[in-house]
Amino acid sequence: MNDDPQHHDLSSEASDLRIATFRLARRMRTQRAVDSMSDGQFAVLAGLFIHGPHTLTQLADRERVSAPAMNRTVNCLQDGGYISRSADESDGRKVVIELTDSGRAVVDETARRRDAWVEEALAELSPAERGVLAEAAALMQRIVAR
């Protein structure tokens, strides 16, 4: 057991940051264009939006799920018209998954709603508080990038 007060402070700060980050992310996830779409399904759409077409295996690796689980997600998204599958031009055994216009529209609208929610929350803060959050955002990006 570590009785060092500095360790306790760091542990408490880590816990506070984890809880606040989780609660913020959970609240932000409620701002979505399609209420029936799961977070996992939206993550696949967002990944395709940002990184372009993928194979099923690449999507499963990116989202850290099994290929069968990703196949179920992709099937739901395809049934909804949000993605399409086509044969890979260089290897006909592979299938390439990409966004449809409807899928892009869901990502765009969800991002717009989330940005609007955050903007509304920021408007209630003082300029100094917004500055603190801007610094925190930069630090969080640095932590994530390591």
Looking at residue 59, its amino acid is: L
Residue 125 falls within a domain, yes or no?
yes
41 domain-assigned: yes
DSSP class of 93: T
Q: Report the mean per-residue pLDDT for the chain.
A: 93
Q: How far apart are CA 127 and CA 123, in angstroms?
A: 9
Of the candidates 10, 98, 97, the residue with the CA atom closest to the CA atom of residue 55: 97
74 has pLDDT over 60: yes
Q: According to the model, what pLDDT value does residue 92 have?
A: 75
Q: What is the CATH number of the domain that holds 85?
A: 1.10.10.10
C-alpha 71/C-alpha 63 separation (Å) is 12
Q: What is the largest distance, in Å, between two alpha-carbon atoms of the chain?
A: 61
pTM of the model: 0.82
The confidence score (pLDDT) of residue 90 equals: 83
Look at residue 2 in the predicted model and tell me its pLDDT. Answer: 58
pLDDT digits (tens, 9 = 90+) for 79-136: 999 999 998 888 878 899 999 999 999 999 999 999 999 999 999 999 999 999 999 9
- What's residue 1's pLDDT? 53
**What is the pLDDT at residue 89?**
83
Q: How many domains does the chain have?
A: 1
Mean pLDDT of the 9-28 span: 93
- Residue 131's domain comprises 31-145
